[in-house]
Structures are given as C-alpha cells and as structure tokens.
Structure 1
Amino acid sequence: MGGTPTAERFLERLRGHASPSDAEQLARYFRTGPGGYGWGDRFLGARMGPVNALAREFAAMDLAEIETLLASPFHEARAGALSVMALQAARRRTTEERRRELVDLYLRHPGHSCCDRSLVPGP
C-alpha cells in the first residue's frame, strides 16, 4: 500500500471484498434484527481473511484513523481497526506509551464497537 494508511483507504479497499450475499448471511447469523444479539450491526460481507490481510497492510495507521474505523457502522471495519490495534500492541518496538494509548482508545469505545466477542482478535 502506498501513501499514508487512512480509514478512508481501508474502507475503500474493504468494500472491494464486499459480498451482498455474505452480508445477508452474516446479518442473519449475528441476529441483527430488533432484539437480536447483534441488533443494528451492519455488514459489508467481507470475509475475515481479507480483513486481517488489510489490517496487516494498514498496521501503521495512526490513532485518529483507527478511531474513525471503530466508529464505523460496519462490523468488518471495526474488526479491522481492532486487528490493527492488536498488531501495533504486539510489536516489540511499540512503546509502553503507545500501548497505553491503544488501551485508552479501546476503552473509549465500549458497547457496539468493541464488545462483540466476534470482533476481539484472539491470540
């Protein structure tokens, strides 16, 4: 990826992996209707392999751009933001100050953006 990693570029690339049929299937699986587990969540229909690959490409994204992705209505964009955060936190060269900034960012986005177990990257 050339240039500065931005949320806008991430979303543009993510939309290239969108599948309306997968989005429909994911909406049913996550019960996005009123009263459902994922009520109000929206999906592009991008699979997690490409989302994680994009996160690796955009791993140098700054906090403001990550925060923009966390505020996205799309599940896959928020998952990508959390993957970027996990990648940054796991780097040996990441300072403790940066790790604190990442934790603070995570804690500023409770509820819809971060607390869905399907969004939190595993080990």
Structure 2
Amino acid sequence: MDQSTVADRVEQVKQVFMEAASPEEAKQLKKYFRVAPGQYGEGDVFLGIRMPKIRSFMKDFKDLTLDDLDLLVKNPNHEIRVFSLLMMCEKYKKGSKEEKEEIGELYLKNKEYVNNWDLVDCSAHIVLEHRIKKDDPLLDELSKSQSMWDRRIAMLATFCKIKKGDFEPAINVALTLLGDKQDLIHKAVGWMLREVGKRDVALLKAFLEEHIDEMHNVTFRYATEKLSSSEISKLKKKKQKL
C-alpha cells in the first residue's frame, strides 16, 4: 500500500466512478431499482454504471483497506456501495479466519447501507458464511428484523450452505419468512427453496406439501420453477383444496 491516506484513496475511487457516470443509464437504473417515492428503493442515487463496468474497476483498487471500504459503503451513490461490497467479498475469499470475522463485522455494522436487492444478493452469502452455524443467533435475529433488507440478508446468507449441501439454515429461515408481507422476501424465499430443490428435490417437495397453505403465490412460483408442469399442477391442486 502506498502512503496515501484513507481520504485520498476514497476520493480516487469516487473520481473514477464520477468519470464513468452516464445520466441516460442512470434513468434506466432508477426505474429498474424502484427509487420513486413509496417504492422499495426510494431516494437511492444512481450514477448509471452497469455491473460489468463496476467489476472492471476492482483490479485497479486491490489495495484498498477495510477503513476505505467502511467509508465507501456509506456513499450515497448506489454503484459505489456495490463496489465496496464486491471488494469486501474479494477480501473475504482470500482472508484468514480473523480477517473474515473482521469483514463480517464491518458488513453487519453497515447493513443499513445494504439497502437494495442487488446489494444484498451480491454479498450476504459470501461475507457472512462464517456466521451461518447452529450456535450463532445471527440468522434468527436478521430474519425477525423490522428491516426488509435484514430479512433478505438472512435468506440470501444461507446460499453459501445450500451450495455445500447443508439445507437446514435455508429451511429454518424460509419457515420464519413464509408469512412475510414483502414481495422481495417472497421472491428471496422462493429462490432459495428452488436452489435447495436443485440439489434435493425430494426435500423441496416435502417442504412445499407441508407448508403450501402458508406460502405466498410468488414464493410458490419461484420455488417450483424447475419442477415439471405435472408436479406443479399436483401441488397447485393441493393448495386449492386448502
């Protein structure tokens, strides 16, 4: 690391993003991420930079510190927050046990800025992996939070375990969130259940049959996306009888 200060390095990142900004793209992204009053992304600010471009900047800032990322994740510009979270993920993947714990704590300290679905989805399943264990209350706390984004973090964080064949965390969080009122939670629960089903279809079917009466239609649709039409029809008939 050179002798530049945290403020210098953060300013360098911000300058790169400002130079890449596109007002036309920003208009499209604002619509896509629902930033109008009353929508889930209300008030978020976009520069108009797509994900591939954001990722391309990462190679030029490999030496950013956690102090740098702590400032960047608080930035009002959505794309800079994305960048900070992606950098946390890269550091986490290469970090020691102690470094992973430090990154996880940094993430949780700043989770109020992880406040749109793409921010959650690109990060939660990576930087919280060390916290997804039976004796850790984190998932329970997040899944019962008043914050929709905390609840989505809880659901998406289980993806790391799903990929390794451990479905219990996802099933437990899904059970907690089945009665949620928010569409983005319905989708997250259905998505993670679908991922479970890709690896254990019998478990998915058993879960659906047992809890179909508690499940929002969006969750059901997402969860059954990979099932055959006949399997879906059979489950729908069961739901209609309830």
TM class, shorter-length: 0.7 to 0.9
Gaps of at least 5 residues in structure 2 are 127-242
Which string of whole-angstrom CA distances, capped at 9 and with x for unpartnered residues, describes residues 84-118 of structure 1? 00111112xx221111111001001123x214221
How does the TM-score come out when normalised to structure 2? 0.46
Give the paired residue count. 119
Q: With CA pairs under 8 Å and 6+ residues apart, which has the higher RCO, 1 or 2?
A: 1
Greater helix share, structure number: 2
| C-alpha RMSD of matched pairs (Å) | 2.0
Partner of 1:23: 26
1:52 aligned onto 2:55: yes
Gaps of 5+ in 1: none
Report what 2:37 is aligned to.
34
* TM-score, reference length from structure 1: 0.86
Cα deviation for residue 3 of structure 1 reads 7.4
Contact 1:56-1:87 at 8 Å conserved across structures: no
Percent of counterpart pairs with the same letter? Answer: 30
SS of structure 2 residue aligned to 1:40: coil
Residue 17 of structure 2, aligned match among 14, 19, 33: 14
CA–CA distance in structure 1, aligned partners of residues 22 and 3 of structure 2: 27
Structure 1 runs (4+) greater than 3 angstroms displaced = 2-5
CA-to-aligned-CA distance 1:23-68 (integer Å, 9 cap, x gap): 1111111111111111110000011111111123213211111011
Q: Which amino acid aligns with 1:52?
A: R
Please show how residues 65-84 of structure 1 align to structure 2 within 5 Å: 65-84=68-87
Structure with the greater alpha carbon radius of gyration: 2
CA offsets 1:67-93 (integer angstroms, 9 cap, x no match): 1111100100000000100111112xx
